[in-house]
Chain A
């Protein structure tokens, strides 16, 4: 029993849930949850069932600590909060049957774009494997196709990596608003991902140039300001 309590304390400690902040009912619920995990193991399905119970048990424990205790991300736990018991069982059956599960989130687009730029010859299966390794989600080829098409990643050659500031075109900025036809669209037609040389020359007549009196006149101070340090005379 002493070992159990030590392990329970360690479980809380590893999940950054201070024991002192728990009320007696919360502690009792978590102890029961801990015993359940000890009994049934820490596989995905046990944790998923347990998370559904804890998230809907009105224990007063916030989502983030519960997610840490059960090894889910906070956003995943938040998503689980809105599901009914039926949906959870359906999703579990779906996953048990070996079908695809998980969802391609918009924030996955960055790593996928990087992958496509780094490995332009990669097949869709390579990409699916990358997604599974990176985020642990298994999606169908059709879902991946829709995702890539939605964000313009379906043709690798059309993904352009904008250069870092040190590599950027060092032309002096003009400050003019960009025009529609000087876009990177032309650049995007290139076959290889190359740095974009963006020009901001506005077509004549589209944006009127401000008159000269729009800008401040040059400084009219006749001599250096009195606050300037006096020159050394030796």
Chain B
């Protein structure tokens, strides 16, 4: 709650709140995915008093009110909000490993001819919109966001997003990771590597596209160039996997051998009749091939964050970006504001839940949003209202003692609820067994 209130304070500085709907709209968009409300129209059935208080009122908000607020968000206001709430402190003056990737939201509209893009999970080219995120893969936190129509690709935003992280985040050293979409053409690869060359504190690693002529070259590398490594199998007792790594250079189109790009070729040996898998990586760094590969593999945390976003925070239910009031439905205008705002709020919620998990026991450190929601957030309880405070008294549940430090911290912040006559928020747990003493 205190964190959401900080976002609300920031939003008040960024948004023109002509209709007084900012508070309810923003808080509802923050807490609805947190408590597991899948779609905005599910607000119609919501009667929970605690949810009403969380979202800045005494009764639950209506979907029309919240929907109206988020549909009218202006892109420049949303950009200002995103800029001010980006957690740049996570990488300021530090060595950061940041992944840049897109999340595609498929759309099924037939009325509006919005731009199409490739949706990997459906393996088809269809109408969609995209959210591009920067993600700190070591700390597992989102850093920045950009919403675009479906035809925009990672290669279009790779350089601007990297520049944004460099200028706003001011890391001591940035290692940027990209999937193959950032280097579909050799010109895209060169643009990224040129940026790395011009910026002393930047290293770029991107997966190379497996174009047939390139794969043929890599397959013809002498076997003596490969160094074999073993890593554990897919399950306990499984035979170990064999990896062969080689370091070579690749000459990009229209360039000479002097400008060849350092390439780490990873050959994953697949036992049986299937052919081996090849994972080539372009990199501007000078680290050992195995180190480059291990760094790049951490990008998987970013993909996992998208899965958590989709399944636990209902990211695909973000409002559409195309303008339904466009005069020509064959060429609808694109409104970046609503899509980017909800995408960023979900990222902030993801970061906040991650912070909560870190404060709990070790087994919750990388817990999914759904796990923490089921274990700690969606708990029944009783609300007591006094002239000075709102006391939230949670019913007993297993593992509640894990929450004690977090609850003590929230209580120590003396957070007051502006929409409840500035009453102080107090969180309480049902006392445990007598052996668990409360004070020192």
A163 at the interface (CB under 8 A from B): yes
Contact A136 B386, beta carbon cutoff 8 Å: no
Contact A151 B391, beta carbon cutoff 8 Å: yes
**CB of B415 to closest CB in A, whole Å:** 11
Q: How many residues of B contact A (CB 8 A)?
A: 67
Q: Give chain B residues whose Cβ lies under 8 Å from the Cβ of A106.
A: 408, 411-412, 426
Contact B385 A160, beta carbon cutoff 8 Å: yes
Which parts of A172-223 form the interface with B (CB within 8 Å)?
173-178, 180, 182-185, 188, 196, 198-200, 207-210, 214-216, 221
Q: Give chain B residues whose Cβ lies under 8 Å from the Cβ of A216.
A: 67-68, 71, 324
Q: How far is the CA of A105 from the CA of B388 in the complex (A)?
A: 16
Contact B68 A215, beta carbon cutoff 8 Å: yes
Q: Interface on B for A, CB 8 Å cutoff?
A: 18-21, 23-24, 43, 47-49, 52, 56-62, 64-68, 71-72, 108, 110-111, 324, 361, 380, 382-389, 391-394, 401, 404-405, 407-408, 411-412, 419-421, 424, 426-431, 434-440
Closest to B384 in A: A113
Q: Give chain B residues whose Cβ lies under 8 Å from the Cβ of A180.
A: 421
Closest to B46 in A: A173
Q: Give chain A residues whose Cβ lies under 8 Å from the Cβ of B393.
A: 110-111, 113-114
With known contacts A105-B408, A178-B58, A111–B430 Cβ distance under 8 A: yes
Which parts of A149-176 form the interface with B (CB within 8 Å)?
150-153, 158-165, 168, 170-171, 173-176
Closest to A103 in B: B439
Q: Give chain B residues whose Cβ lies under 8 Å from the Cβ of A221.
A: 111
Contact B431 A162, beta carbon cutoff 8 Å: no
Q: Please, could you name 13 A-B residue pairs with CB atoms under 8 Å apart, sorted by A?
A: A75-B405, A78-B405, A106-B412, A107-B411, A111-B430, A136-B434, A162-B383, A164-B382, A173-B43, A175-B57, A176-B57, A200-B57, A216-B67
Q: How far is the CA of A102 from the CA of B111 in the complex (A)?
A: 67
Contact B391 A102, beta carbon cutoff 8 Å: no
Contact B64 A175, beta carbon cutoff 8 Å: yes
Q: How far is the CA of A91 from the CA of B439 in the complex (A)?
A: 12
Closest to B53 in A: A162
Q: How large is the interface on A (under 10, 10 to 19, 20 to 34, 35 or more residues)?
A: 35 or more
Q: Which of A3-11, A23-31, A32-40, A66-74 contacts B (4 or more CB under 8 A)?
A: A66-74
> With contacts A168-B47, A199-B58 known, what are 15 further pairs, Cβ within 8 A?
A91-B440, A103-B439, A105-B439, A110-B427, A113-B384, A151-B391, A152-B388, A159-B384, A160-B386, A163-B49, A177-B20, A183-B420, A198-B59, A210-B19, A227-B108
**CB of B173 to closest CB in A, whole Å:** 30
Q: How far is the CA of A228 from the CA of B428 in the complex (A)?
A: 48
Closest to A150 in B: B388
Which parts of A106-142 form the interface with B (CB within 8 Å)?
106-111, 113-114, 117, 133-137
Contact B438 A110, beta carbon cutoff 8 Å: no
Checking A72, A109, A135, A174 against B59 with a beta-carbon cut-off of 8 angstroms, the contacting residue is A174
Q: Interface on A for B, CB 8 Å cutoff?
A: 64, 71-76, 78-80, 83, 91, 101-103, 105-111, 113-114, 117, 133-137, 150-153, 158-165, 168, 170-171, 173-178, 180, 182-185, 188, 196, 198-200, 207-210, 214-216, 221, 226-227
Q: How far is the CA of A105 from the CA of B440 in the complex (A)?
A: 11
Closest to B20 in A: A207
Q: How far is the CA of A19 from the CA of B392 in the complex (A)?
A: 39
**CB of A218 to closest CB in B, whole Å:** 11
Contact A226 B385, beta carbon cutoff 8 Å: no
Contact B24 A107, beta carbon cutoff 8 Å: no
Contact A215 B64, beta carbon cutoff 8 Å: yes
With known contacts A135-B437, A161-B384, A177-B24, A75–B47 Cβ distance under 8 A: no
Contact B384 A160, beta carbon cutoff 8 Å: yes
With known contacts A151-B386, A162-B384, A109–B24 Cβ distance under 8 A: no
Q: Give chain B residues whose Cβ lies under 8 Å from the Cβ of A72.
A: 437
Contact B49 A162, beta carbon cutoff 8 Å: yes
Checking B24, B384, B408, B411 against A175 with a beta-carbon cut-off of 8 angstroms, the contacting residue is B24
